[in-house]
Each structure stands twice: as structure tokens, then as C-alpha cells.
């Protein structure tokens, strides 16, 4: 607990860290395959989900270009922004379904069917809900670019606060945008009290601006590392804590 002394607020990435994107999307794809009598194996649907996710990560990386040093860029909440954000997964889905590998699936999935296959229909990771409930001694807050309504009421996730992360983005040339919403109204003396369990690239960016960091292992999701061997603890010069799951994180605050 010494590494996290003084932490009062836990900021959680939702997409990937808290919700189980791979199994949720794979299950949805399997259901559609059965509905339309498509001859696609579970392994192939898993590959489809992986491809969808990878293309999404690449799109995020491309949007994070900028100077080598970390800079601040304001992004205001607009109808156009939300439409673009919500529409991105559908655009990637259309791209995949138009490929030669998946065109046979694309031919049978109409617009209504495709509308149901979005990242917004995800279940929580098995360890997330009990882990969040166990963190009763601190404030747990969602910080995500997911749809606000779905963040507020989704998968029985017991948030104390919900915020969308796009009002302030830290960008660099080699990293996707780092979410930093609370930095807009938190004074410097509060920075040591914030904790950020996210993807490795988010954590590295957060550490640069003074936040304490916890890396919760999600090897099947975090494409910024090829193995957990690349994730190092504070003693090894990187994150304040490396936790295997949310229960281990919760035990640090008991």
C-alpha cells in the first residue's frame, strides 16, 4: 500500500480494462452466425473480433499524431464529435465485411444487424464488478470515451462518478491520446491522489504528468505490449503497481 499512499480516487479505463470486449463481441458474432446459418467456427469469429479491435487501435494511434513532446489539446463536446466517435466502430465493421475474407458474411448482414454489432454491447470482465464493489474505501470513477449513457448504467458497474475523457487529450507522436480529463480541474497538489489503471501507453503518459499508476493485466486486450514481461513495476522503473486482476487491486486498499 505504501506505493499508493494518499490515493483517494481511482480512474478506470472502461473499454478493455473493465469490460470484456473479446468474449462479448465473439459471443455476439457467434449468435449472428447461428441466426444466419453461417459456416464460421468460434476460432474464426475470435479472429474477426481481434481484427476489429486491432483496426480500432490503429485508428486511435493515427488520431494521436503531434509533436514529439507531450502537448495539451482541447476537444469540445459537440454533436458532430459524438456522431464521429459512435460511428467509428461501424465504419471499421463495414471495412472488414467488405474484405474478400469476410464478404460472404457481409452479404447477409443488413444495416440493422450491423447496428447491433457495436462495442457498446459489452459485458464486464469477470473480476471487474466484485473488484469495484470491494474498493469501497476510495472513489471509483469511469474515465472513458464510451457513450455517457452506457457508462452510467452498464453491466452493474458501481461507479461513484462517470466522466468522458475527450475534453482534454494529451497527445504525442508515438502514442495514442492519453485520457486526462480530471487534470483540467484538479490542482497539482491533488495529482498524487489519482490512480490510473489503463493500457500501458495511457499509464506512461499519465505518469509523465504526475499521476500514480496501476497496470491491471489484460494481455488479450493491451496491444501495446506483447507480453507481461514488458510491464514493469515501480521497483523496476515503471508503474507504481502491477496487479493481476481487480481483486488484487482491491486488497491493496483493505
pLDDT 10s digits, 198-251: 567 677 777 777 778 888 877 555 544 444 446 555 555 578 888 888 999 899
What b-and-e string marks burial along 121-139, b requiring 16 or more CB atoms within 10 Å of the CB? ebbbbebbbebbeebeebe
**More confident site: 221 or 81:** 221
Let me know: does 185 contact 164? Beta carbons within 8 Å.
no
**More confident site: 147 or 106:** 106
CA distance 195 to 104: 45
**More confident site: 232 or 129:** 129
Domain boundaries, the chain: 2-20+123-251, 22-67+78-116
Average pLDDT over residues 130-140: 90
CA distance 102 to 119: 19
How far CA 238 is from CA of 49, 201, 233, in Å, comes to 30, 12, 5
Q: Above 50 in pLDDT, residue 185?
A: no
Q: What pLDDT was estimated at residue 198? A: 56
pTM of this structure: 0.69
Q: Which CATH number fits domain 2-20+123-251: 3.40.50.1000, 3.40.1170.60, 3.10.105.10, 3.40.30.10?
A: 3.40.50.1000
Instruction: Tell me the percentage of the chain whose pLDDT exceeds 90.
Output: 15
Residue 75: pLDDT band with limits 50, 70, 90: very low
pLDDT digits (tens, 9 = 90+) for 3-16: 788 888 888 878 77
Amino acid at each position: 500500500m505504501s506505493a499508493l499512499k494518499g490515493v483517494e480516487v481511482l480512474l478506470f479505463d472502461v473499454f478493455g480494462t473493465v469490460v470484456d470486449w473479446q468474449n462479448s463481441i465473439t459471443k455476439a458474432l457467434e449468435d449472428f452466425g447461428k441466426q444466419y446459418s453461417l459456416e464460421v467456427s468460434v476460432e474464426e469469429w475470435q479472429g474477426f473480433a481481434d481484427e476489429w479491435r486491432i483496426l480500432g487501435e490503429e485508428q486511435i494511434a493515427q488520431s494521436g499524431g503531434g509533436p514529439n513532446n507531450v502537448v495539451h489539446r482541447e476537444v469540445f463536446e459537440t454533436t458532430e464529435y459524438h456522431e464521429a466517435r459512435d460511428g467509428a466502430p461501424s465504419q471499421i465493421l463495414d471495412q472488414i465485411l467488405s474484405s474478400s475474407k469476410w464478404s460472404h458474411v457481409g452479404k447477409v448482414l443488413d444495416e440493422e444487424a450491423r447496428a447491433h454489432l457495436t462495442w457498446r454491447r459489452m459485458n464486464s470482465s469477470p473480476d471487474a464488478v466484485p473488484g469495484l464493489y470491494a474498493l469501497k474505501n476510495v472513489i471509483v470513477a469511469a474515465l472513458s470515451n464510451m457513450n455517457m449513457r452506457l457508462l452510467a448504467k452498464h453491466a452493474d458497474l458501481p461507479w461513484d462518478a462517470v466522466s468522458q475523457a475527450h475534453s482534454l487529450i494529451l497527445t504525442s507522436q508515438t502514442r495514442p491520446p492519453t485520457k486526462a480529463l480530471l487534470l483540467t480541474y484538479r490542482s497539482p497538489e491533488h495529482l498524487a491522489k489519482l490512480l490510473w489503471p489503463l493500457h500501458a501507453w495511457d499509464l506512461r503518459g499519465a505518469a509523465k504528468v504526475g499521476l500514480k499508476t496501476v497496470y491491471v493485466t489484460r494481455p488479450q486486450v493491451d496491444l501495446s505490449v506483447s507480453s507481461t514481461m514488458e510491464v514493469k513495476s515501480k521497483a523496476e522503473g515503471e508503474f507504481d503497481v502491477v496487479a493481476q486482476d481487480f481483486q488484487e487491486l482491491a486488497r491493496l486498499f483493505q
